[in-house]
Amino acid sequence: MTSSQSRPLTREEVAAFAAEVDELRNRIVADLGENDARYVRRIRDAVRWSELGGRALLFAGILPPAWALGTLLLGLSKILENMELGHNVMHGQYDWMQDPEFHSQTYDWDNACAAPAWRHSHNYMHHKFTNVVGRDRDVGYGFLRLFPDQPWHPAHLLQPPASLLLALGFQWGVALHDLELERVLRGEKSVEELRKELKPVLRKARRQLLKDYAIFPLLAGPSFVPVMAGNLAANVIRNVWAFIIIFCGHFTERVETFPESVLENETRGEWYLRQMKGSSNLEGGRLFHILSGNLSHQIEHHLFPDVPANRYAEMAVEVKRIAGEYGQHYNTGSFARQFASVVKRIVRYALPNTTPVRRTVDLLVERVGLSPRVEAWWAWRSGLRATHQPSAPGRAAVA
Amino acid sequence: MSPHTKHRTPPSVSPLASVTAPLTRLLAAPIVRTFLDEHVFDFYARQLGPQLSLNRILARVEAIRSEARNVVSFVLRPNRNWRGFRPGQHVQLTVEIDGVRHARTYSPSNAPAADGTVTLTVKRHPGGRVSGYLHEHLAVGDIVELSQAFGDFVLPDPVPAKLLMIAGGSGITPLMAMLRDLLARGIDSDVVFAHYAHTHGDLIFAGELTDLGERHPNLHVHFGVTGTSALPGELSGRLSGPHLDRIAPDAAERCTLACGPGGLLDTANALWRERGYAELPRGEAFTPGVVTATDSSEIALRFARSFKDVRGKSGVPLLVQAEGAGLRPRSGCRMGICHSCTCRKQSGAVKNLLTGEIGAEPDEDIRLCISVPISDVTLDL
């Protein structure tokens, strides 16, 4: 197991690091204005026109090319809406515009997860307690084991296929996430409480189901079946894409997790450092960043969750520089490499930390070889394992 | 006929309106509302006409004219969501400046008209962001957003036989609307109209008032200047007992309506009390400028939705103070990142603890956990 790839900082250094990050944030926030408003409106325009185009093509879905194109367009629209518009608006990134159309308290997205539940489970629980095992429920979504410091259970053996199911129905996973079903199963939460929370979740779920699988198909008349199928496929496209991007943000190879003890008297600087070490970026072109909802700049998103995402790219340059100056690891890599390491985690931590069986799986993963790049990385990682020593509090990046 | 029904004639906007009217009714059905997001609807509607909206009142600037020094009137034509106004009421005007929407409250200065227009008369304040923007950038053909009219500073119904209207500066707008409305409706109450301003150049509607005074024997117009020497026949200085004796010796019998800066209203009230007049002036004051409190001073906190007034402390986050007052506002991270505690501040000035920025604008969304009051504050809580 290793370790933080970052140099330990003194109290003063942590404070100075925080001051630099704050300074960057204030500089960007002071500069927000018309261009940012125009950006979010252009994204909104793209969402609306692609949705209209997608649904219109699906109405002609008896023709296979129209169906395929319509499904793709609608999937794209849902991706843009959920990731670059909804997620970011619901973080309050555009609250400064004071426009009810882009306000975190009023926006509701095209997703099975109800907005208030999302603001609680994501904006609050996940963003405040990022990668603190036992507190951030996004670490494994309450049932996946992705880090060695999560306790192993035989049921985890099923997590590779379970992850695949989660990817296909990700919006439903997210919708149920805030209900904390695992705590109800463990008896830590009353059924009464669950029932109360279930109401808005069911209301939103019903709305989404009716919209995509009854109202639009019925409006399409003879194209009922193609429209329903297209809507289903578009939802799946969005689900899989969101799953991939989100898992790449926190479960890549060199991401760190933290024990609950770090939360005691954590300073703003320490919080910043934890956000940075607990997140990973993806490299790619402008379109890729937009389609990922700029979560490809996961580090910047976690440092500045309420700064407009269209600013992350320019902030990333600065954050990387500051991280370098303080000897802190800045976790970024190609999409292929980062995602391969996520898949590896899912497979690997299905098994307990060290068993003969796991060694076998290790060996198998190595032999099968996901790509030549992964092979190269594998060799490099083995070298890393030999030379690095663990250090607190960042733990367990690589097994 | 009640005067109100007459005011509520829905304005006709565009030829599209006749097509959209039944559609709008359909869209209002609860079942449709469940599945229809108003912003989504508005997006597509906007492609057909810039003023089409499900709920929002979008108004087109029809004309702009200068009224006095630094005072301009904007004639606005709202869409059919507008339900009309009663003279004396206010509307909130929202414009977007550099990506940020700003709202300000104005009283229409026109009489409610059959053509459905609303005239807002705006004085430019030194350093005023919105008034400056309106004066410099708003052009004929632009679209602005209005709220429905609100406020109960209106003419009594039935209209009293004798009225005294006292206007200070741009406080003339609601009174001008009332006066124009009276004349338009042919009501011949006896009206004494006193209009105070700093200098002659600041007297809004001076020409029109003089004109109306000459044409209507029951309307007695008086001008007063407070910052320069008065011309013969004018009132000199601020409202006073001698002024009242001169323009309305029968003030005790008149229904008095006053609108202007806080000082004018205080003076009027004191004068009426001193003289033992039974009925105090009905009045409306502009909000005085923001008084900045020091770090540990006591301020007044008002939680408007809970009807709660408490004594608060400047320098302490509003979330903590609201909880201390027994309220349980939504909250989350308590460090300014999750926006769970975002709340509308209706008035007052607050400081953002993260940025040190001061927010003094009315109707602004703030995060309670990182905002400390630096003046009296009213929250929508």
How many Å lie between the alpha carbon of A99 and the closest alpha carbon of chain B?
6
At residue A132, does pLDDT exceed 50?
Answer: yes
A128 CA: distance to closest CA in chain B (Å)? 6
Option in A99, A127, A215 nearest B337 (CB): A127
Number of domains in chain B: 3
Same domain for B139 and B168, yes or no, is no
Plot region of A52 (φ>0 → left; ψ -120 to 50 → alpha; else → beta): alpha
Kind of pairing between the strands at B71-78 and A281-283 = unpaired
Helix (H/G/I), strand (E/B), else coil: B61: strand
Taking alpha carbons only, the member of B204, B82, B94, B205 closest to residue B150 is B82
- Buried/exposed A41-59: b ≥16 CB within 10 Å, e otherwise: bebbebbbebbbbbbebbb
Residues B227 and B273 in one domain: yes
| Tokens representing residue B72 in the block | 């301009």
With an 8 Å Cβ cutoff, is B137 touching chain A? no
Contacts of A309 (CB under 8 A, 6+ apart): A84, A88, A93, A293, A294, A297, A301
Are A98 and B365 a contacting pair at CB < 8 A?
yes
Residue of A nearest to B352 (CA): A26
Query: What is residue B230's DSSP assignment?
Result: P
Q: Is B39 on the interface with A (CB under 8 A)?
A: yes
**Interchain proximity A44–B332, CB inside 8 Å:** no
Q: Is B1 exposed, middle or buried (0-12, 13-18, 19+ CB in 10 A)?
A: exposed
The answer for B 67-126 residues in CB contact with A (under 8 A) is 96, 98-103
Residue B37 touches partner A, C-beta closer than 8 Å: yes
Q: Quick one: DSSP state of residue B83?
A: -
* DSSP secondary structure letter of residue A125: I
Confirm if A109 and A51 have CB atoms less than 8 A apart: no
Residues B18 and B137 in one domain: yes
CB A96 within 8 A of CB B98: no
Tell me, yes or no, whether B267 and B229 share the same domain.
yes
Highest mean pLDDT among A134-143, A254-263, B9-18: A254-263
Q: Is A196 exposed, middle or buried (0-12, 13-18, 19+ CB in 10 A)?
A: exposed
* Model confidence at A101: pLDDT above 60: yes
Q: Would you give the distance in Å from CA A214 to the centre of its chain?
A: 30
* Type of residue numbered A394: G
Residue B234 in tokens: 């004018």
At B99, list the tokens: 């990506």
Q: Do B39 and A101 touch (CB under 8 A)?
A: yes
Q: Which residues from B are below 8 Å from A100, CB to CB?
A: 39
pLDDT reading at A189 higher than 50: yes
| CB spacing of B101 vs A95 below 8 angstroms | no
Cβ distance A11 to A306 under 8 Å? no
- Measure CB to CB from residue B339 to each of A22, A35, A123 and give the nearest one: A123
Q: What is the pTM of this model?
A: 0.83
Write out chain B residues lying below 8 Å of A103, CB-based.
Answer: 365
Range of the domain at B54: 3-146
Instruction: Compare all CA atoms of chain A with the CA of B34 and give the residue at the minimum distance.
Output: A207
Residues B98 and B26 in one domain: yes
Which pLDDT value is given to residue B367?
92
Residue A315 in tokens? 């902030």
The amino acid occupying position B376 is: D
Q: Do A123 and B96 touch (CB under 8 A)?
A: no
CB A50 within 8 A of CB A74: yes
Domain boundary among B146, B173, B192: B146
Which stretches of chain B drop beneath a pLDDT of 50? 1-13, 288-292
| pLDDT tens figures, A191-247 | 998 998 888 889 999 999 999 999 999 999 999 999 999 999 999 999 999 999 999
User: What is the structure's pLDDT at B331?
Assistant: 78
Q: Which residues of A touch B353 (CB under 8 A)?
A: none
For residue A39, what is the nearest residue in chain B, using CA coordinates? B99
- Number of separate helices (H) and strands (E) present in chain A: 19, 2
B365, β-bridge pairs:
B344
Residue of B nearest to A26 (CA): B355
In the prediction, which pLDDT does B7 show? 43
Per-residue confidence (pLDDT) for residue A172, from 0 to 100: 93
All residues of chain A having their beta carbon less than 8 Å from the beta carbon of residue B101 are 97-99
Give the burial string for A225-239 (b: 16+ CB within 10 Å, else e).
Answer: ebbbbbbebbbbbbb
pLDDT tens-digit series, residues A144-166:
999 998 988 899 999 999 999 99
Distance CA A298, CA B127 (A): 40
What is the Cα–Cα distance from A320 to B234, expressed in whole angstroms? 71
A130, A302 contact by CB (below 8 A): yes
* pLDDT one-digit tens code per residue, A315-340: 999 999 999 999 999 999 999 999 99
Which of B38, B330, B338 should one mutate to test binding to chain A, selecting the residue with the greatest count of A CBs within 10 A? B338
B344: domain CATH number? 3.10.20.30
CA dist., res. B380 & res. A149, Å (int): 45
Q: Are A210 and A46 in contact (CB under 8 A)?
A: no
Residue B233 to residue B248: CA distance in whole angstroms: 14
Q: Judge if B204 and B274 occupy the same domain.
A: yes
Contact B332 A128 (CB under 8 A): yes
How far apart CA B312 and CA B374 sit, in angstroms, is 10
Domain closes at, from B251, B285, B319: B285
| pLDDT over 70 at A282, yes or no | yes
Q: What is the C-alpha separation between A123 and B245, in angstroms, rounded?
A: 65
Helix (H) or strand (E) holding B293: none
Last residue of a domain, one of B122, B146, B170: B146
User: B340 in contact with A at a CB cutoff of 8 Å?
Assistant: yes
Please give the residue of chain A at the shortest CA–CA distance from B100: A97
Question: Both B122 and B46 in a single domain?
Answer: yes
Mutate to test the interface with B, among A23, A124, A130, A304 (most CBs of B within 10 A): A124
- Is residue B183 located within the same domain as residue B275? yes
Residues 6+ apart with CB under 8 A from B236: B224, B225, B229, B230
Q: Give domain status of residue B155, yes or no.
A: no
Q: How far is CA B274 from CA A86, A162, A169, A389, B369, in A?
A: 61, 83, 76, 86, 47
Q: Are residues B18 and B133 in the same domain?
A: yes
- Distant-in-sequence, close-in-space partners of A234: CB < 8 Å, separation ≥ 6: A54, A71, A72, A74, A75, A77, A78
**Are B193 and B303 part of one and the same domain?**
no
Q: What DSSP line would sit under B348-375, residue for residue?
A: S-EEETTT--EE--SSEEEEGGGEEESS
Residue B180 located in a structural domain: yes
Report ipTM for this prediction. Answer: 0.84
Domain definitions of chain A by residue range: 11-30+118-177+245-387
- pLDDT above 80 (res A354): no
Q: What is the mean pLDDT of chain A?
A: 89
Contact A303, A330 (CB under 8 A): no
**Torsion angle, alpha carbons of B148, B361, B198, B225, to 10:** 40
Q: What is the pLDDT of residue B254?
A: 95
Out of A37, A52, A105, name the one closest to residue B342 (CB): A105
Q: Three-state SS for B255? A: strand
- DSSP annotation of A75 reads H
Residue of B nearest to A19 (CA): B354
Among A37, A95, A124, select the one facing B342 at the smallest CB separation.
A95
Residue of B nearest to A98 (CA): B101
CA distance B45 to B36: 13
Q: Is the same domain home to B94 and B16? A: yes
Least confident of A120-129, A145-154, A353-362, B79-88: A353-362
